[in-house]
DNA sequence: ATGAAAGCGCTAACAT
DNA sequence: ATGTTAGCGCTTTCAT
């Protein structure tokens, strides 16, 4: 109902609708007296200009799109992204915009069909995207569309403004702690990572190796997975053949990936409590695990907030200070 | 750039734009021949009609709003909502719509300012809302606006279409298990809940009491909190005065609430491992806690999916089958 | 079957 | 300072 339009407001105030528009948008060309009259009337009748009409006239939607990486069902299950979304939503709403969540669909020939349509239909003014596994078709489309965007994390094929954490340093610090915790007799650390193509995977591997080298620790093994449950299981089984008596693990990502690895290790009869464990991700509930764990806690809220801020900079033709902004991770010992 | 509009398409195809529109929308009044020509042209040039213009002409945005309960910073931190969002997003995108996330802001005099504006500006075609603590001002506005909406959970003041879980049965079953696990010498179960006004809190308390009664178990205590960290701490401290030697806990909600309670119990020197614990919520990582726990797992994906489906029913003037649709919870023993 | 034209509710350029 | 008017890119009557 509330069929109130700018026309009724104009009539009620005995002015032209352009005057109402100017008053509402804080533009000059309206006397203080008339402006006040309009503003108080608008407040009285609880009027807000129709978002769609304004969007069409101004050629901007007031909507920011947030694109999740991977398929929604697996990525959202991790706590990582939800904390990021929270921060982005708050920042976006603070700027008077709204957030649209875009989830690559899992059961679809084209996982980015939804994103593709959003771009083609000009449904959003800007995009914040998880940087990994975006295919070049969709990236080309986005670039051509001219829609401003920022990454969370980095994409090897598309260097662009992004917020990232200091993955190498984090992995380095966790590994140093692992080695410190290991007695002198222990000699086998297994590092399990996600896809090798991802920049953060490379960085974390580098940090891991750097720490091992620095400590003259040569008994390490590195295994990569594609994060799928099947491939992870297969990889861990192989790992246990190569390295039947590991002393420590550095698991280079958290969430379901970490849990899948734990499940398999337990299934294979490994006593997890005897392992020194490090993981790149943190969760409050780690306080109550029946094994101790060294974790790297990412500043998720800050990541989301800065991503949104940089996007707004871009939208207002202001270049963010740095191409890639690195945030520090916190090492948590338990 | 991609400045393609229906006008260029019309020119390229040598037809009127109204014909293009009809062809695109699958309406009759276009010969098969012309329709095919237009459709293949549109596919060639990768054209999609501008969402905003279409929204204005059709008086619908193609956007569904999802309103989180409480303040975003605390509610989103729990895994509960993110799984629900995933399911809703997929269902909404399946219907060719998009999802807008609306988070009540924490640091604001009016927590629902954002939602209020969205309603007044007609930014969404429908709303899915967490049912708890919506104030009557915002609910009145939504009702007046005529925007279709469904609840997840139930609101005592606004009986309306909603998806809920069988809270009483879940609490009952968890409590039965707790009592089963308790030896005959143990006599003290403490139940800690959220706000007493919430319908699900009442239901869970009822289920808890029903199980105790059935087992002729009279040594129980019930404590309510407002979910805030401070109030939860205060309540647990009081609890330990009333009941210094508890044997079991039924914690009627999960997420940060559950963890806060664990933190305080540990801080107060209680040996959690000796307690029988039940909680209304589940998490995969519970497999690795250093104490055993009985949990009620909610069908989060189904909740989100059904909420979206019922909303679409409502939007197409089709009443959902039931006012409140109850889903079963799964009891997980560990 | 096709096309011309009005209109959705705004904003912005242009008159006055 | 205020009002008139022309779009924004579609959909939808209404003629033809």
CB contact under 8 Å between B120 and A144, yes or no, is: no
A122 contact residues in B (CB cutoff 8 A) = 50-52
**Confidence check: pLDDT of B185 > 90:** no
Over chain B, what is the mean pLDDT? 94
**A222: Cβ–Cβ under 8 A, 6 or more apart, which residues?**
A190, A191, A193, A205, A208, A209
B184 pLDDT band (50/70/90 cuts)? Answer: confident
Task: State the DSSP string of A22-78.
Answer: HHHTT-SSS-HHHHHHHHHHHHHHT----HHHHHHHHT--SEEEEEPSS-HHHHTTS
Do the strands B294-297 and B330-333 form a parallel or antiparallel pair, or are they unpaired? antiparallel
**Among B325, B201, B189, B329, which residue's Cα sits nearest to residue B253?**
B201
Whole-number percent of chain A with pLDDT over 90: 87
What sign does the CA torsion over B149, A96, B52, A83 have? Answer: negative
Q: Provide the 3-class DSSP secondary structure of residue B214.
A: helix
* Helix pair angle (B17-24, B6-13), 10° resolution: 100
- Are the beta carbons of A65 and A283 closer than 8 angstroms? no
User: How many residue contacts between A and B have a Cβ separation below 8 Å?
Assistant: 169
CB contact under 8 Å between B79 and A77, yes or no, is: yes
**B3: Cβ–Cβ under 8 A, 6 or more apart, which residues?**
none
Burial A266-302 (b: 16+ CB within 10 A, else e): eeeebebeebbbbbbbbbbbbebbebebbbbbbbbbb
Q: Which among A72, A79, A291 has CB closest to B86?
A: A72
CA distance A312 to A308: 6
Half-sphere exposure of A152 (CA within 13 A, CB side): 26
Say yes or no: Cβ of B50 under 7 A from any atom of strand D.
yes
To which H or E segment does residue B164 belong? strand B162-165
Say yes or no: Cβ of A183 under 7 A from any atom of strand D.
no
pLDDT at residue A109, rounded to an integer: 82
pLDDT at residue A53, rounded to an integer: 98
Burial B296-324 (b: 16+ CB within 10 A, else e): bbbbbbbbbbbbbbbbbbbbeeeebeeee
pLDDT at residue B301, rounded to an integer: 94
B125 contact residues in A (CB cutoff 8 A) = none
**Confidence check: pLDDT of B189 > 60:** yes
pLDDT per residue over B130-160, tens digit each?
998 789 999 999 999 999 999 999 999 999 9
Average pLDDT of the residues in B1-15: 90
pLDDT at residue B193, rounded to an integer: 97
Q: How far is the CA of A12 from the C1' of D6 (A)?
A: 24
pLDDT per residue over B21-56, tens digit each?
999 999 999 999 999 999 999 999 999 999 999 999
pLDDT at residue A105, rounded to an integer: 80
Do the strands B189-193 and B330-333 form a parallel or antiparallel pair, or are they unpaired? unpaired
CA distance B61 to A3: 16
pLDDT at residue B2, rounded to an integer: 57
* Beta bridge partner(s), residue B224: B193
Q: Phi and psi of A32, rounded to 5°?
A: -55, -40
Q: Provide the 3-class DSSP secondary structure of residue A302.
A: helix
* Beta bridge partner(s), residue A251: A192, A279
- Are the beta carbons of A74 and A104 closer than 8 angstroms? no
**Among A138, A159, A161, which residue's Cα sits nearest to residue A149?**
A161
**Confidence check: pLDDT of A315 > 70:** yes
* Helix pair angle (A229-242, A255-267), 10° resolution: 50
What tokens does B8 get?
């260029």
Do the strands B98-102 and A98-102 form a parallel or antiparallel pair, or are they unpaired? antiparallel
- Are the beta carbons of B90 and A105 closer than 8 angstroms? yes
pLDDT per residue over A111-132, tens digit each?
899 999 999 999 999 999 999 8
**Confidence check: pLDDT of A215 > 70:** yes
**Confidence check: pLDDT of B72 > 50:** no
The region of weakest confidence among A77-86, A299-308, B48-57, B223-232 is A77-86
**Among B248, B276, B261, which residue's Cα sits nearest to residue B333?**
B276
- Are the beta carbons of A298 and A329 closer than 8 angstroms? yes
pLDDT at residue A208, rounded to an integer: 98
Whole-number percent of chain B with pLDDT over 70: 96
Q: How far is the CA of A319 from the C1' of C15 (A)?
A: 39
Q: How far is the CA of B53 from the C1' of C16 (A)?
A: 32
**Confidence check: pLDDT of B331 > 50:** yes
Q: Phi and psi of A181, rounded to 5°?
A: -70, -25
CA distance B182 to A258: 33
Average pLDDT of the residues in B226-240: 95
- Are the beta carbons of A17 and A7 closer than 8 angstroms? yes
pLDDT at residue B67, rounded to an integer: 94
pLDDT at residue B1, rounded to an integer: 55
B75 pLDDT band (50/70/90 cuts)? Answer: low
A72 pLDDT band (50/70/90 cuts)? Answer: very low
pLDDT at residue B73, rounded to an integer: 53
Say yes or no: Cβ of B4 under 7 A from any atom of strand D.
yes
**Confidence check: pLDDT of B204 > 60:** yes
A108 pLDDT band (50/70/90 cuts)? Answer: confident
pLDDT per residue over B283-322, tens digit each?
999 999 999 999 999 999 999 999 999 999 999 989 998 9
What tokens does B129 get?
């809302």
CA distance A34 to A43: 14
DSSP B110: S
Average pLDDT of the residues in B171-193: 92
pLDDT at residue B79, rounded to an integer: 77
B77 pLDDT band (50/70/90 cuts)? Answer: low
**B261: Cβ–Cβ under 8 A, 6 or more apart, which residues?**
B192, B232, B236, B249, B251
Do the strands B126-130 and B149-152 form a parallel or antiparallel pair, or are they unpaired? parallel
How many CB atoms within 10 Å of residue A221?
Answer: 13
Chain A residue nearest residue B81, CA to CA: A82
- Are the beta carbons of A9 and A38 closer than 8 angstroms? yes
Supply the pTM of this predicted model.
0.96
**Confidence check: pLDDT of A184 > 90:** no
Over chain A, what is the mean pLDDT? 94
Could you give the C-alpha distances from B278 to B92, B168, B252, B294, in angstroms and in order? 34, 14, 8, 4
B3 pLDDT band (50/70/90 cuts)? Answer: confident
**Among B180, B207, B126, B163, which residue's Cα sits nearest to residue B292?**
B180
Measured from Cα to the C1' atom, the residue closest to D8 is: A57
Measured from Cα to the C1' atom, the residue closest to D6 is: A57
Nucleotide nearest to B56 (CA to C1'): C8
A74 pLDDT band (50/70/90 cuts)? Answer: low
Q: How far is the CA of A10 from the C1' of D2 (A)?
A: 12
């Amino acid at each position: 109902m509330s069929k109130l339009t700018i026309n009724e407001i104009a009539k009620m105030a005995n002015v032209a609708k352009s005057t109402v528009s100017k008053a509402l948008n804080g533009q000059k060309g309206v006397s203080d007296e008339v402006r006040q009259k309009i503003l108080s009337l608008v407040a009285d009748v609880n009027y807000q200009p129709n978002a769609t009409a304004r969007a069409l006239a101004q050629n901007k939607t007031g909507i920011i799109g947030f694109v999740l990486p991977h398929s929604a069902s697996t990525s959202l299950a991790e706590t990582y992204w939800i904390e990021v979304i929270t921060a982005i939503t708050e920042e976006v709403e603070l700027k008077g915009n709204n957030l649209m969540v875009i989830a690559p669909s899992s059961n679809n020939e084209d996982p980015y069909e939804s994103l593709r349509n959003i771009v083609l239909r000009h449904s959003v003014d800007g995009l914040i995207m998880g940087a990994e596994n975006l295919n070049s078709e969709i990236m080309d489309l986005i670039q051509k569309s001219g829609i401003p965007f920022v990454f969370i994390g980095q994409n090897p094929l598309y260097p662009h403004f992004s917020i990232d954490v200091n993955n190498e340093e984090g992995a380095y610090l966790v590994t140093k702690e692992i080695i410190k915790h290991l007695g002198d007799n222990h000699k086998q650390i297994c590092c399990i990572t996600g896809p090798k193509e991802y920049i953060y995977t490379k960085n974390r591997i580098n940090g891991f190796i750097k720490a091992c080298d620095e400590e003259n620790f040569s008994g390490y093994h590195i295994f990569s997975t594609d994060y799928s449950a099947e491939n992870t299981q297969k990889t861990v089984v192989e790992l246990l053949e190569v390295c039947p008596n590991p002393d420590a693990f550095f698991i280079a990502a958290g969430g379901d990936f970490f849990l899948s690895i734990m499940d398999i290790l337990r299934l294979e009869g490994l006593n997890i409590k005897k392992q020194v464990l490090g993981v790149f991700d943190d969760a409050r509930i780690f306080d109550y695990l029946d094994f101790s764990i060294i974790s790297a806690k990412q500043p998720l809220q800050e990541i989301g907030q800065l991503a949104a801020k940089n996007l707004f900079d871009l939208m207002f033709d202001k270049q963010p200070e740095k191409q890639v902004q690195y945030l520090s991770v916190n090492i948590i010992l338990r």
